[in-house]
Amino acid sequence: MSTGSAIIDELQWRGLVAQTTDLDDLRALMDEAPITVYCGFDPTAASLHFGNLVQLIVLRHLQRAGHRVICLVGGSTGLIGDPKPTAERVLKTPELTAEYVSRIQEQVHPFLEFDGDNPAVMVNNLDWTAPMSALHFLRDIGKHFRVNQMIRKDAIAARLESQEGISYTEFSYQLLQGLDYLHLFREHGCVLQTGGQDQWGNLTAGVDLVHRVEGRSVHALTTPLITDENGEKYGKSAGNAVWLAADMTSPYAFYQYWINVADSEVGKLLRAFTDRTQDEIAELEQATVDSPHLRSAQRALAGDVTTLVHGASATAQVQAASSVLFGKGDPTELEAGTLRDATAELPGGEVKVGDGIVDALVATGLAESKGAARRLIAEGGVSINNVKVSDAEQALSESDFLHGQVALVRRGRKNLAAARKAL
CATH of the domain at 352: 3.10.290.10
Task: State mean pLDDT over 66-83.
Answer: 94
Q: Establish if 244 belongs to a structural domain.
A: no
Is residue 1 over pLDDT 50?
Answer: no
Task: State mean pLDDT over 141-170.
Answer: 87
- First vs last Cα of the chain: how many Å apart? 58
Do both 332 and 352 map to the same domain? no
Nearest Cα residue to 196 out of 175, 215, 177: 177
Q: Establish if 269 belongs to a structural domain.
A: yes
Is residue 144 over pLDDT 50?
Answer: yes
Do both 267 and 300 map to the same domain? yes
Do both 336 and 352 map to the same domain? no
Mean pLDDT of the chain: 93
Task: State mean pLDDT over 65-69.
Answer: 96
Q: Are 282 and 300 in contact (CB under 8 A)?
A: no
Domain with 374, as residue range(s), is 348-421
Cβ density class 289-305: b for 16+ within 10 Å, e for less: eeeeeebbbbbbbbbbb
Three-class HEC string of the chain: CCCCCHHHHHHHHCCCCCEECCHHHHHHHHHHCCCEEEEEECCCCCCCEHHHHHHHHHHHHHHHCCCEEEEEECCCHHHHCCCCCCCCCCCCCHHHHHHHHHHHHHHHHHHCCCCCCCCCEEEECHHHHCCCCHHHHHHHCHHHCCHHHHCCCHHHHHHHHCCCCCCHHHHCHHHHHHHHHHHHHHHHCEEEEEEEHHHHHHHHHHHHHHHHHHCCCCEEEEECCCECCCCCECCHHHCCCCECCCCCCCHHHHHHHHHCCCHHHHHHHHHHHCCCCHHHHHHHHHHHHHCHHHCHHHHHHHHHHHHHHHCHHHHHHHHHHHHHHCCCCCHHHCCHHHHHHHHCCCCEEEECCCCEHHHHHHHCCCCCCHHHHHHHHHCCCEEECCEECCCCCCECCHHHCECCCEEEEEECCCEEEEEEECC
Is pLDDT larger for residue 387 or for residue 5? 387
Do both 323 and 385 map to the same domain? no
Do both 192 and 263 map to the same domain? no
**For position 48, which CATH number holds?**
3.40.50.620
Q: Establish if 1 belongs to a structural domain.
A: no
Task: Choose the final residue of a domain: 217, 238, 259.
Answer: 238
| CA-based radius of gyration for the chain | 26
Do both 58 and 200 map to the same domain? yes
pLDDT tens for residues 238-284?
A: 456 889 999 999 999 999 999 999 999 999 999 999 999 999 999 99
Side chain identity at residue 50, one-letter code: F
Task: State mean pLDDT over 28-54.
Answer: 94
Q: Establish if 261 belongs to a structural domain.
A: yes
Do both 203 and 96 map to the same domain? yes
Do both 28 and 149 map to the same domain? yes
The Cα–Cα gap between 254 and 265 comes to 17
Is residue 329 over pLDDT 70?
Answer: yes
Q: Are 34 and 120 in contact (CB under 8 A)?
A: no
Task: Choose the final residue of a domain: 343, 359, 392.
Answer: 343
The Cα–Cα gap between 404 and 239 comes to 34
The Cα–Cα gap between 30 and 256 comes to 38
Do both 161 and 266 map to the same domain? no
Do both 405 and 311 map to the same domain? no
Task: State mean pLDDT over 345-354.
Answer: 94
pLDDT tens for residues 351-371?
A: 999 999 999 999 999 999 999
Is the pTM higher than 0.75? The answer reads yes
The pairing of strands 19-20 and 219-223 is: antiparallel
Do both 391 and 324 map to the same domain? no
As for how many domains the chain has, the answer is 3
**For position 299, which CATH number holds?**
1.10.240.10
Task: State mean pLDDT over 180-197.
Answer: 97
Do both 329 and 387 map to the same domain? no
Task: State mean pLDDT over 111-127.
Answer: 97
Q: Establish if 243 belongs to a structural domain.
A: no
**Residue 171's CB: how many other CB atoms inside 10 A?**
19
Task: Choose the final residue of a domain: 238, 263, 278.
Answer: 238
Backbone phi and psi for residue 90, each to the nearest 5 degrees, phi listed first:
-85, 120
Is residue 391 over pLDDT 90?
Answer: yes
Is pLDDT larger for residue 4 or for residue 348? 348
Q: Establish if 81 belongs to a structural domain.
A: yes
